[in-house]
Amino acid sequence: MTEVALEARELGKRYGKAWALEGCSLQLPAGRIAALVGPNGAGKSTLLHLAVGLLEPDAGEVRVFGRDPRQGVAALAGIGFVAQDTPLYPDFTGDELITMGGKLNRRWEAAPARDRLTRLGIPLDKPVGRLSGGQRAQVALALALAKQPRLLLLDEPVAALDPLARHAFMQELMGAVAESGTTVLLSSHLLADLERVCDHLVVLNTAQVQLTGAVDDLLAEHCRITGPRTDTESVPGVAAVIQASHTERQSTLLVRTDGPVDENVWTVHPVTLEDLVLAYLGAGDTRFSPEVAA
C-alpha cells in the first residue's frame, strides 16, 4: 500500500463569511512531485499554510504522514516550506541563516546547504537582503532542504524570477529531490515549468479541488474529440464533458473517458497538461495565465 504524504478530508478555512477553502479532499502519495495549480484566490496558499500548521482548519482535517501538523515540533520536523515571498532575515548572511537553522531544527544538514550555495556562486558572507531575487530563492530552498524534509511545500517560489533564474531554481530542486526522495507539492502558475518536472496534479478552483491524480493517468483518461454537431453530453465512451465548443455543423469536446470513443464518428486528439488545467479552470478565467517557457 502506497504511503500517503499529505491528506485532506473535507478541509475548510474561512475568513469572515467567505470560505477560502471548502470541502477540500485529496491524497498525495509519498514520493510524488505534485503541481498545485489554480487562479489567484483559489485557496492554494491557504491549503499550504494549513498543511504546515500556520493556520487552523474551520472544517475537516489535514494530515501529513498521518499527523496533524499543529500537534507540535515532532509533527513539523518532517515538513519543509518555502513561502511565496521567500521570507528571510535580510540582515543575516547565508552562513548565519544556516547556523541559526541548525539551532532551531532537530534534523539539519548544514554542510550540504553551504556546499549547494557555494556551487551556485552565492556568497555566504553577504546579507541576503542584498542578494538578487533568484539568489534569495536559492537560499530559501537550501534552508528548506537542510531540514531533510519528507514533504517539501513550495508556494510559487519562482513567480517573480526571470526565466534563467527559474530554470536554475527548478534544476536545483529536481536534483535535490532525486537524491532524497522527498515528496514535493509545488504551487505555481507556470505550466511550462510544471509540465517538465511534475508527475502528479492538483487543480484548485473556487475553494475546491476540481481534479487530482497522477499526470500520466489523467492525460490518458482525457482527450479532445471533434465530430458532427451535438447538443447532448451523452456520448458513448465519455464519462463527462469538461469543455465544449460548437460551430453550425461541428462540435469539439474535451472529455473524460470511461471507455473507447467511436472513431468512425469522432476524431480523437490527445491533450496536454495545459489543455487539461485550462479546461477544468474554465478558459475564460482571466485570473489564470499559463506561460510558455522562453
In a shared domain, residues 49 and 170: yes
Q: For residues 247 and 113, what is the distance between their CA atoms, to the nearest angstrom?
A: 57
Query: Taking a C-beta distance cutoff of 8 angstroms, is the pair 46, 206 a contact?
Result: no
d(CA 93, CA 83): 19
What CA–CA distance (Å, rounded) separates 256 from 125? 54
Task: Examine the domain organization and report whether 13 and 134 are in the same domain.
Answer: yes
> pLDDT digit string (tens) for 67-122?
999 987 888 899 999 998 888 999 999 999 999 999 999 899 999 999 999 999 99
Establish if 98 belongs to a structural domain: yes
Are residues 37 and 135 both part of a single domain? yes
**CATH assignment at residue 110:** 3.40.50.300
Regions of the chain with pLDDT less than 50: 283-294
Which residues form the domain of 169?
A: 4-206
Helix pair 133-146, 110-119: axis angle to 10 deg: 160
Claim to verify: residue 238 and residue 186 sit in the same structural domain: no
Query: CB count, 10 Å around CB of 272?
Result: 13
Residues 138 and 258 in one domain: no
The amino acid at residue 136 is: R
CA pseudo-torsion sign 270, 271, 273, 279: negative
| Residue 292 forms part of a structural domain | no
**pLDDT value, residue 36:** 96
pLDDT number for residue 140: 95
Alpha carbon distance 87, 57 (integer Å): 23
The pTM assigned to this predicted structure is: 0.89
Res 194: pLDDT:
87
Same structural domain, 114 and 224: no
Residue 112's pLDDT is 94
Q: Alpha helix (H) ranges present in 3-146? A: 44-51, 73-76, 94-104, 110-119, 133-146
99 and 201, same domain (yes or no): yes
Which of 206, 239, 272 is at the close of a domain? 206
- State residue 294's pLDDT score: 25
pLDDT at 293: 28
